[in-house]
Amino acid sequence: MEQQQWQRFGGTFLSGPVAEEVNKALITEQEAGNTIQVCLGTDSQVKGAVIEFATVIVFVRRGKGAFLFLQKELLHKKMSIRERLLMEVDKTVQLTLQLNEVFKRHRIAPELHIDINTSAAYRSNAALHEAIGYVSGMGWTCKAKPNAFASSSCANRVVQ
């Protein structure tokens, strides 16, 4: 898997490890008096023989907009849609575990957004119960489509 460095949506690369940068961002926002909600999510797109993943950390300033950090990864592997969706969820869970101490320090309850449809009419629904069980079992709030904007809107925009 080819993993790129974390960056801001505008393309500027983060200067330090993602946990340090998230901590700095939360300090800056709290000092500015902003109430922050953090939402994390991953989306993927199959492009020929390559799967491109985008993982995002969205900082929502209550009533004042949002900004995000993102990371792209390329995987040269063929996989089923169910396997790919569960890999998206796992990438989001692993990132949240990596940032868990920062979230605790700032009293942030992260939301994990999964790009899986709640309607059985869609193929992605095949992984819904496993994904929600995985995230909820870790003790975090899990949001699926249509309420999963971090994965289905923000990360989706990065991989298109």
Question: Based on the number of CB atoms within 10 Å of its own CB, is 38 exposed (0-12), middle (13-18) or buried (19 or more)?
Answer: buried
Task: Residue 116: give the domain boundaries.
Answer: 2-159
Pairing of strands 36-47, 141-145: unpaired
| Amino acid (one-letter) located at 109 | A
Dig out the tokens for 97 from the structure. Answer: 């575990």
Dig out the tokens for 102 from the structure. Answer: 């920062």
In this prediction, residue 1 carries a pLDDT of 63
Q: At what angle do helices 128-137 and 81-105 cross, to 10 degrees?
A: 20
In this prediction, residue 124 carries a pLDDT of 76
pTM over 0.85: yes
Q: Spell out the per-residue pLDDT of the chain, length 160, in tens.
A: 667 899 999 889 999 999 999 999 999 999 999 999 999 999 999 999 999 999 999 999 999 999 999 999 999 999 999 999 999 999 999 999 999 999 999 999 999 999 988 878 887 788 898 999 999 999 999 999 989 999 988 888 888 7
State the total domains in the chain.
Answer: 1
